[in-house]
Amino acid sequence: MSGERQISDGLRARRRFLAATMLAPVAVGLSGCAAPNGAASRPADGLNGPPGGGHGTGHGGELLEPVPADGLDWSGVADALGRPGEVKRGALYYTGFPRTDLTVVSEGVTISPALALGSHIAFIRYEDDSTLLMGDLVVLEEEFQDVSDALHARGLMQTAIHKHLFAHQPEVWWTHVHGHGPDAAELARGVRAALDRTATPPPGPEDGGRPDLDTEGIDRALGVPGMVVGGIYKSLFARAEEVNDGERILPSGVGAISAFNFQPVGEGRAALNGDFAMIAEEVPKVLPRLRRGGIDLVSLHHHGLTDNPRLFFLHIWAVDDAVRLAEALRPALELTHVVPLEQ
């Protein structure tokens, strides 16, 4: 166990370092100021401080740590899913399944797969040699019940069923999935069984070049450099506090991301879709602040069942000048305890 404990200690030290360095560039804009030890300080209204305590314990009464994903063999998972994935941030194995087969229109906007139609699955290995699976599947309404049955038959859970968009055609639903077990490839076969009940296409080239938007203006407004994915512009933030799933510590940004996606619709305007990750105390502040900025509220729900702190996710929508949308997001973002997500 000495080698595993060294990995565990190293991960703890890395998280402390990242918390300090990631908070520094946005300390005034997002968290008020940084505490001397690098953790976010609690503002006067008490919103941004993390709750305490975990739900469960691992070996020796401690929460279980993830082990680095970049030192593991994920070929069995890739074979089961039928496509390659990638290790992200050294902590998880990630595979995306964009629904490029769909032409979905919402409020006159043809939705890019990268804006709101991307199924994805993440695998995290833990020091007890078990694997946690978390993800989100994009499913047509006529596919949904068969997908649910396939997940249940393989022992995978659905932890959320909801919408990311207002009235749209064809009807699409989003379902979060969750699984845990000793065999990562077996978990992947369960996901594959569900995906096989859909028309999700095989992997192909990524569509779209750099979006025709003032991305520097978006970056200035939100205080974080964004990234281009599939022709849309993404700005990503992670909860700053440690988030656990039951007895397992989640790597930063897993199951706890505030994501804002900008799809160009012409003349510097964008369709905005994405979500806020919030604790309960933040919800009644964030929603009215967004509405004052002209941003529509789509759905409010949980993504998980045993997360700690308990997180609420708010999906949003708007169409307007891209920089103006980013400026409208910023005051609401400042009410939440987040840091830029390390890529």
More confident residue, 10 or 336: 336
CA atoms of 282 and 289, how far apart (whole Å): 11
With a CB cutoff of 8 Å and minimum separation 6, the contacts of 301 are: 160, 162, 312, 313
Cα separation of 30 and 32, whole Å? 6
**pLDDT (tens digit, 9 = 90+) per residue, 245-271?**
999 999 988 999 999 999 999 999 999
User: Are residues 230 and 331 in contact, defined by beta-carbon separation less than 8 angstroms?
Assistant: no
pLDDT in tens, 165-203: 999 999 999 999 999 999 999 999 999 999 999 999 998
Calculate Rg over the CA atoms of the chain.
Answer: 20
Interatomic CA distance for residues 262 and 270, integer angstroms: 6
Banded pLDDT at 44 (limits 50, 70, 90): very low
Helix (H, G, I), strand (E, B) or coil at 167: coil
> Are 133 and 156 within 8 A, CB to CB?
yes
Cα 310 from Cα 306, distance rounded (Å): 8
Mean pLDDT of 66-86: 97
Q: What is the pLDDT of residues 210-226, one digit of tens each?
A: 899 999 999 999 999 99
When pLDDT is cut at 50, 70 and 90, the band that residue 240 belongs to is: very high
pLDDT above 90 for 148? yes
Higher pLDDT, 12 or 168: 168
Residue 205 CB-density burial (10 A; 0-12 exposed, 13-18 middle, 19+ buried): exposed
Distance from C-alpha of 249 to C-alpha of 187, rounded to nearest angstrom: 19
Supply the pLDDT for residue 209: 82
Poorest-pLDDT segment among 43-47, 127-131, 178-182: 43-47
Assess contact for 184 and 129: CB atoms under 8 A. Answer: no
What are the start-end ranges of the H helices in the chain? Answer: 2-23, 27-31, 75-81, 113-116, 144-153, 184-195, 215-222, 283-292, 322-333
pLDDT of 342 reads: 74
* Of 331 and 33, the one with more pLDDT: 331
pLDDT grade for 17, boundaries at 50, 70 and 90: very low
The pLDDT assigned to 55 comes to 38
Give residue 23's pLDDT. Answer: 36
CA 108 to chain centre: 26
- 3-state SS, residue 119: strand
Q: In this prediction, what percent of the chain has a pLDDT beyond 70?
A: 81
